[in-house]
Amino acid sequence: MINTGKLAGRTIFVTGASRGIGKAIALKAAKDGANVVIAAKTATAHPKLPGTIYTAAEEIEKAGGKCLPCVVDVRDEVQVRGAVEEAVKKFGGIDILVNNASAISLTPTDQTDMKRYDLMHQINTRGTFLATKECLPYLKKSNHAHVLNISPPLNMETKWFSNHVAYTMAKYGMSLCVLGHHEEFRPLKIAVNALWPRTAIKTAAMEMLSGGGTHSAYRNPDIMADAAYAVLSQDPAKCTGNFFIDERVLFEAGVKNFDAYACDPNNKDNLMLDFFLNEDQAKPCVGTGSGETGMEQGLAQGPFGKKKEAPSGPVENVEGIFRVIEASLSEDLVSSTKAVFAFNVTGKEEGKWFVDLKNGSGQCGKGEPPTAADATLTMDGKNFFAMFTGKTKPATAYMLGKLKISGNLQKAMKLEKLMGKLKAKM
């Protein structure tokens, strides 16, 4: 996404911009010659997280922008108001607000302490509302006023709540601000939109969630920065109230190849999808080189044909899960999937299993697969059971380190659709 100069001289206030997506957006605006206000907490180097507001400011000025680094905890009304006033004093006003600061904890209710619950709600929802409120008097005076929240589309499906309801509520709070503010501010010609990634993005938060593991299935933050730039360059009177997905924004802006955004170019077709996306939103744009997988197509066609009768009674162990899978195999599923999965189960039910959805009419069972596996999944038996019975999402298990995947990550994560079909039979 080439810079056009449309943000030259504009003042952009970005929360949480000392690293990650926030800093990438700030740098993109700086290349236009924008004035950038970094509002973040990190004033001194963190032992586990790279970058401070001052190192980010140096990068922004080297990129061609002017920068004001401000120590801001978005939970603190006085600090947010003070940073806004400093920005107005230095740059004369505020044209754009990017609400990027966020906290995450993908934990179920019994594992979410209230301190962490409060942190997420105070940063994500309250911080977004507060920053918008404080910037509003100056946005009203701008002839190019935008508010952009880095938050997801409001998909009210139970699967986005059941495994981490505290985080979902806090993150959706940012999206609810878009829902309300875009209509409230419409008469003022202030655009309010949300932007969310189609795939997982390599950030400090993701590194911590994945235990510092491989990033081969992630994209870098530049794709979000380029998408944000495309949105923020629009006429605010004509572009408001949208829940944008990064890849779709760039595709419609003329970008047809997304290979450069992959952290590992060799794995560009096997990227992990982000949360909160329905099937249409999760589909890649034409031209990405990573079209709909066989698993998606097969499951879209209808229920599985059955080879064997499913076991009667509740499924209580790993072996029972594979009996249900075996009863669900069909030639149509095999022809549309074309993948072999190996499972290394540890713990009390230790053993190796496989599901062959590539050959004949399909098969599954104990031991090694008959042909080389496309993806190998390793996890404890309890976590395996929880994942296949719908209590834990594969993406959550992976990011929390409960599930290890080698091979074709995209195909492995698409097993979630198969799990959804099997859940009713368990």
Residue 287, pLDDT > 60, answer: no
Assign domain 11-282 one CATH number from 3.30.70.100, 3.40.50.2300, 3.40.50.720, 3.30.710.10.
3.40.50.720
The residue with greater pLDDT, 416 or 233, is: 233
Look at residue 298 in the predicted model and tell me its pLDDT.
24
**pLDDT-derived band at 204, boundaries 50, 70, 90:** low
> What pLDDT, on the 0 to 100 scale, is given for residue 418?
63
> Has this prediction a pTM greater than 0.75?
no
3-state DSSP assignment of residue 207: helix
Phi, psi at residue 39, to the nearest 5°?
Answer: -110, 100
Tell me the per-residue pLDDT of 140-170, one tens digit each, with 9 for 90 and over.
999 999 999 999 999 999 999 999 999 999 9
**Per residue in 324-353, pLDDT tens?**
888 777 777 777 778 888 999 998 888 898
Checking if the pLDDT of 58 tops 90, the result is: yes
**pLDDT at residue 305, as a whole number:** 26
Say how many residues make up the chain.
426
Are the C-beta atoms of residues 190 and 140 closer than 8 Å to each other? Answer: yes
Q: How confident is the model at residue 210 (pLDDT cuts 50, 70, 90)?
A: low
Specify the pLDDT at position 301.
26
Among 88-97, 400-409, 410-419, the range scoring the smallest mean pLDDT is 410-419
Question: How far apart, in whole angstroms, are the C-alpha atoms of residue 28 and residue 236?
Answer: 19
pLDDT, average across residues 355-366 = 81
The residues, any chain, with a CB within 8 Å of residue 226's CB and separated by 6 or more, are 1, 28, 246, 250, 255
Instruction: Choose between 44 and 56: higher pLDDT.
Output: 56
pLDDT at 293: 27
Q: Does domain 294-423 have CATH number 3.40.50.970?
A: no
Q: Quick one: average pLDDT of 248-265?
A: 92
Is the pLDDT score of 209 beyond 60? Answer: no
Q: What does the pLDDT read at residue 158?
A: 92
User: Which residues are known catalytic residues?
Assistant: 167
Same CATH topology for 11-282 and 294-423: the answer is no
- DSSP label at residue 199: B
**The Cα angle at residue 151 between residues 386 and 65, in degrees rounded to 5:** 135
What is the structure's pLDDT at 171? 97
Dig out the tokens for 249 from the structure: 């924004």
Query: Given this model, what pLDDT does residue 291 score?
Result: 33
| Extents of the domains making up the chain | 11-282, 294-423
User: Which of 418, 385, 413, 408 lies closest to 398 in space, CA to CA?
Assistant: 413
Q: Which of 46-60, 116-130, 261-275 has the highest mean pLDDT?
A: 116-130
